[in-house]
Amino acid sequence: MTRLAVMQPYFLPYLGYFQLVQAAERFVIYDDVQYSKQSWFNRNRFLIDGKTQYFTIPVKSDSDFLDVREREVAPDFRQKREGILSRLEYAYRKAPCFDSVFPFIREIFGCNENNLYRFIRFSFDRVCERLGIDTEIITSSDIQSAKGLGGKERLYEICNAMEASRYINLPGGQKLYNRKEFGKRGVELLFLMPELPVYEQFNHDFIPGLSILDVMMFNSTETIQEMLGQYRLI
């Protein structure tokens, strides 16, 4: 049985995203989905002085109807990059894993790829490599049989093309997808319920769901690998 998950590409997303990647045998990333400023494509949250703030990769102004793979990183990002890194350094300089993690974060922000999708994909691949996640990754635009389809029909065809017997989604999908409809196509629909472990964030109250970089700053790679398995499938 092949376990499949499908998600949009997010920049340094939270732990639950990587739990989903780990739980799947094949993971499809939507590169041909429309970009949205309100999404997590190019931003995420981190902890600074006990409060959450956003770090954002600026995107070049263009048509709102373009897909993620058609958008570009803003030309002035190269100038803004050091400012973002300085904020992250200030925020986490006293974190227990800072010395090993900050050079890694600098490498990710130092990616010179102008294409937004490839920029995000670089960070995704590097995090998976660091955490030992070896799930097969497929780009949605490479699935020819799903081209021209939209919505649920496209997802059903991706399941078919990937020979999926199980489709795993994060909790938000419970409002969108129906087990019977998947069952008609020979696919079992499951939902991954992340159990986000509490860890020490300096002396502040714990704030869950921050970027994976926050998890990495406070936990060893071995501990995070254990966290990746802390979820329920329902």
Query: Beta strand 166-169 with 188-194: parallel, antiparallel or unpaired?
Result: parallel
Q: What is the pLDDT of residue 150?
A: 85
Q: What is the pLDDT of residue 149?
A: 86
Query: Which domain, by its residues, includes 146?
Result: 3-233
How far, in Å, CA of 27 to CA of 187, rounded? 15
User: pTM to 2 decimals?
Assistant: 0.96
Q: Is the Cβ–Cβ distance between 167 and 189 less than 8 Å? A: yes
CA within 13 Å, CB half, 46: 23
Name the token pair of 148.
Answer: 């021209």
Low-confidence ranges of the chain (pLDDT < 70): none
How far, in Å, CA of 111 to CA of 119, rounded? 7
Q: What is the pLDDT of residue 214?
A: 99
Q: What is the number of domains present in the chain?
A: 1
CA within 13 Å, CB half, 215: 28
Q: What is the pLDDT of residue 38?
A: 87
